[in-house]
């Protein structure tokens, strides 16, 4: 079993938080990952709090997130031909064009010059 991978990040230039990817196997021996993504929850204008979302991922999605984010210690990737940096949750929720999503999964995308 692979060791847990962590990305130390600073959210909103203020809050230290960790993105983690833990590896596990189901009863059939298939690998899956438990991805923890922190985010800033604004309870009021004065009291932001860091919360987390957990996702269970596997297959191409797990491979994509491990390779392009955790192995490179990045929480967002600037992709050529797309105006915004792509965050891990953009891949999970597919809130980007299908063509870009497929390139991210296949690893055939090009990184935009920062």
Q: Between these two residues, 114 and 5, which has the higher pLDDT value? A: 5
Average pLDDT over residues 84-107: 94
Q: Is the pLDDT of residue 114 over 80?
A: no
Q: What is the pTM of this model?
A: 0.89
45-78 exposure pattern, b = at least 16 Cβ within 10 A, e = fewer: eeeeeeeeeebebeeebbebbbebbbeeebbebe
Q: Between these two residues, 99 and 42, which has the higher pLDDT value? A: 99
- pLDDT digits 0-9 by tens, 35-85: 999 999 887 677 788 999 999 999 999 999 999 999 999 999 999 989 999
């Amino acid at each position: 079993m692979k060791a847990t991978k962590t990305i130390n990040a600073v959210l909103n230039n203020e809050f230290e938080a960790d993105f983690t990817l833990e590896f596990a196997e189901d009863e059939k021996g298939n690998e899956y990952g438990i991805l923890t993504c922190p985010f800033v929850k604004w309870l009021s204008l004065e009291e932001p709090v860091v919360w987390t979302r957990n996702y269970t991922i596997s297959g191409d999605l797990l491979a994509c997130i491990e390779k392009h984010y955790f192995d490179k210690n990045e929480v967002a990737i600037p992709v050529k031909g797309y105006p915004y940096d792509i965050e891990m949750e953009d891949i999970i929720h597919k809130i980007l064009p299908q063509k870009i999503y497929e390139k991210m999964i296949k690893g055939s995308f090009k990184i935009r010059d920062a």
